Amino acid sequence: RMLRRQMVCRRDIDSLNAPFLLIYESLVPPEEEKAKQKQLLMLLEKLVNKEWPQAQLYLYGSCANSFGVSKSDIDVCLAMEDADINKSEVLLKLADILQSDNFQNVQALTHARVPIVKLMDPETGISCDICVNNVLAVVNTKVLRDYACIDERLRQLAFIVKHWAKSRGVNETYQGTLSSYAYVLMCIHFLQLRRPAILPCLQEMEATYSVTVDDIDCTFFDQVEKLSGFGSRNSETIAQLVWAFFNYWAYYHDYANNVISVRSGSIISKHEKDWTRRIGNDRHLICIEDPFEISHDLGRVVDKFSIKVLREEFERAAEVMQYDRNPCVKLFEPYVP
């Protein structure tokens, strides 16, 4: 189907800046919530170290990548030096310990793609997932957080996009739509491609941070304080960017041929990655390259039904941004089946 069209943005677009910023601010977690998360992490650390004195706990995911909205669950990684550990055993043991310490809803999911223990802290009301040795996730959390320091428009855009995705029911990987992590990568990539660029490509710059995880070299420029002001030659406002983001995914992205790649800061071809046909369950209907695990397509969860749902939602959002009288409400109207 031919969807490409030439759209000129509505004239009153900048009247939407203030309401979008209000929505963004209402989603940002207050300091006291951050303090409670730290408090819970310290408590968990104490319990874990009684059993495994060498182990360390790291926060990752949205509570640490700066893209977390208020009242999110927290993601914790238990890092153990010993490579020979049996993850399932560790998780079952951990579940036991947590149960005896009166945490609620404790559940070990040892067969999940990323095996975890779930828990709820009755003291703070915070829910938490703990995984073992998922160090790549700790590293991708850092690169997301570093990008967020460079230009505040990234965080604003990503909060609005995540809020839209949750409201419209397209942030459910088990239903074939995209993860929060994938949406944030889409936002970073989109800002890398604006002209003038709003974000650089940290992995193409001098490596000031370097770790090797599971044989993958993760290197990038992380002295982001030196990059503040990077995007200042681009004066696009948040409302213009939200409009352009949805337009891009509704009408301009070439789903048949292209892969978005934060790692290279450009669009690359499916052909070059050999992502042109279905292999197993990987259909590559929308292609988002993981910045470090580059054989990993974050769009792999999308199937022939959910791609239609996703694209219709991008189109709806683009239409709302272009024509609706009150996009700041309409965009986030819950999807009712």
Binding positions for Mg ion, rule: CB under 5 A: 61-62, 75
Cα–Cα distance measured from residue 207 to residue 143, given in angstroms and rounded to the nearest whole number: 12
Smallest distance from ligand 3AT to CB 180, Å: 3
Long-range contacts of residues 39-48, Cβ cutoff 8 Å, at least 24 apart: 39/124, 40/74, 40/121, 40/123, 40/124, 40/126, 40/128, 41/74, 41/76, 43/121, 44/76, 44/128, 44/130, 47/97, 47/98, 47/101, 48/78, 48/94, 48/97
Q: Which listed range, 6-14, 137-145, 150-158, 322-330, lies at the site for ligand 3AT (CB under 6 A)?
A: 137-145
Query: For ligand 3AT, which is the closer residue by CB, 181 or 190?
Result: 181
Q: Which listed range, 10-18, 24-32, 47-55, 173-181, lies at the site for ligand 3AT (CB under 6 A)?
A: 173-181
Q: Which listed range, 60-68, 194-202, 219-227, 264-272, lies at the site for ligand 3AT (CB under 6 A)?
A: 60-68
> Cβ–Cβ contacts within 10 Å for residue 6, how many?
5
Q: Which listed range, 19-27, 71-79, 236-244, 254-262, lies at the site for ligand 3AT (CB under 6 A)?
A: 71-79
Q: Using CB under 6 A, which of 141, 192, 247, 306 touches ligand 3AT?
A: 141
Q: Using CB under 6 A, which of 20, 37, 62, 119 touches ligand 3AT?
A: 62
Choose among Mg ion, ligand 3AT, none what residue 278 binds, the Cβ cut-off being 5 to 8 Å by kind. none
* Residue 304: C-alpha distances to residues 160, 167, 185, 326 (Å): 26, 22, 22, 32
Query: For ligand 3AT, which is the closer residue by CB, 75 or 151?
Result: 75
Helix (H) or strand (E) holding 128: strand 127-132
Smallest distance from ligand 3AT to CB 126, Å: 12
Query: What are the residues facing 59 on neighbouring strands?
Result: 76
Supply 165's token pair.
């995705």
Report if residue 289 touches ligand 3AT, rule: CB under 6 A: no
Report if residue 222 touches ligand 3AT, rule: CB under 6 A: no
- Radius of gyration of the chain from Cα atoms? 21
Smallest distance from Mg ion to CB 235, Å: 33
Give the single-character DSSP code of 10: P
Smallest distance from ligand 3AT to CB 94, Å: 18
Report if residue 137 touches ligand 3AT, rule: CB under 6 A: yes
Report if residue 306 touches ligand 3AT, rule: CB under 6 A: no
For tokens 């874990």, what's the residue? Answer: 48
Report if residue 68 touches ligand 3AT, rule: CB under 6 A: yes
Report if residue 121 touches ligand 3AT, rule: CB under 6 A: no
Cα–Cα distance measured from residue 174 to residue 284, given in angstroms and rounded to the nearest whole number: 16
Cα–Cα distance measured from residue 93 to residue 187, given in angstroms and rounded to the nearest whole number: 39
* Residue 264: C-alpha distances to residues 135, 184, 188, 259 (Å): 22, 16, 12, 11
Query: For ligand 3AT, which is the closer residue by CB, 16 or 291?
Result: 291
Contacting residues for 7 by C-beta, under 8 A, at least 6 apart = 247, 251, 318, 322
Q: 160 and 23 in contact (C-beta within 8 Å)?
A: yes
Report if residue 146 touches ligand 3AT, rule: CB under 6 A: no
Can you give the binding site for ligand 3AT, defined by CB under 6 A?
A: 60-62, 65, 67-68, 72-73, 75, 137, 140-141, 179-181, 290, 296, 298
